[in-house]
Amino acid sequence: MHPLAYIALGANLGDRDQNLAYARKRLAALPGSRVVAESSVEETAPVGTVPQGAYLNQMVALETALSPRELLAALHRIENDAGRVRMVHWGPRTLDLDIVRFGDVHIDEPDLVIPHPQIEHRDWWQRELTELGAGQ
């Protein structure tokens, strides 16, 4: 059995429901991977000071043979294919995918930190992790 990665999905531009569905479909199609559980979808206020609309958020548990780095690269490809443009930190986006946890792995590098450093500050992630049976 491969490790479980918990991936946060968020969208606040375009058809938010469709963007999350697109992400779930693409995650399930990753090599050596399968979505084993999905949290409920919930609407949340945006984080930061950039004026923007509310987000739809969800978390999935992904069993994967990919390494954390390979998974991160795949998430960036999915975001890009969904039309994400990285212009403003914590700005609006068609799709945002974050590795929240990856098995028991701990990584602290400039471009990849696992577990995600914002877990404690995002109550919706805590609810979603709990719903998936991986709560704090």
Number of domains in the chain: 1
Catalytic residue, candidates 16, 93, 101, 122: 93
Catalytic residue check, 93: yes
Residue 131 CB neighbour total at 10 angstroms = 16
pLDDT band at 83 (very low <50, low <70, confident <90, very high): confident
Show the domain range for 10: 4-131
Is position 136 within any domain? Answer: no
Q: What is the pLDDT of residue 89?
A: 67
Residue 80 in any domain: the answer is yes
Mean pLDDT of 92-100: 93
Q: Which of 28-32, 74-78, 106-110, 131-135 has the lowest mean pLDDT?
A: 131-135
Over 90: is that where the pLDDT of 58 sits?
A: yes
**Per-residue pLDDT band at 47 (split at 50, 70, 90):** confident
| Whether residue 34 lies in the annotated active site | no
For 69-80, how does the pLDDT look when each residue is reduced to its tens digit (9 = 90+)? 999 999 999 998
Q: Note the maximum CA span of the chain.
A: 43
Work out the pLDDT band at 124, boundaries 50, 70, 90. very high
Among the listed residues 26, 96, 101, 122, the single catalytic one is 96
pTM (2 d.p.): 0.93
Average pLDDT over residues 75-101: 86
Residue at 17 is within a domain = yes
CATH of the domain at 76: 3.30.70.560
d(CA 129, CA 119): 10
* Residue 47, in any domain of the structure: yes
| Cβ–Cβ under 8 Å, residues 95 and 23 | yes
For residue 35, the model assigns a pLDDT of 97
- The residue annotated as part of the active site, out of 15, 16, 24, 84, is 84
**Is the pLDDT assigned to residue 136 strictly greater than 80?**
no
For residue 16, which of 87, 125, 80, 95 has the smallest C-alpha distance?
Answer: 95
Residue 65, in any domain of the structure: yes
Give catalytic status of residue 84 as yes or no: yes
Catalytic residue among 98, 111, 123, 127: 98
Kindly state the percentage of the chain with pLDDT values over 90.
78
Does residue 35 sit within a domain? yes
pLDDT at 87 over 90: no
3-state secondary structure the chain: CCCEEEEEEEECCCCHHHHHHHHHHHHHCCCCEEEEEECCCEEECCCCCCCCCCEEEEEEEEEECCCHHHHHHHHHHHHHHCCCCCCCCCCCCCCEEEEEEECCCCEEECCEEECCCCHHHCHHHHHHHHHCCCCC
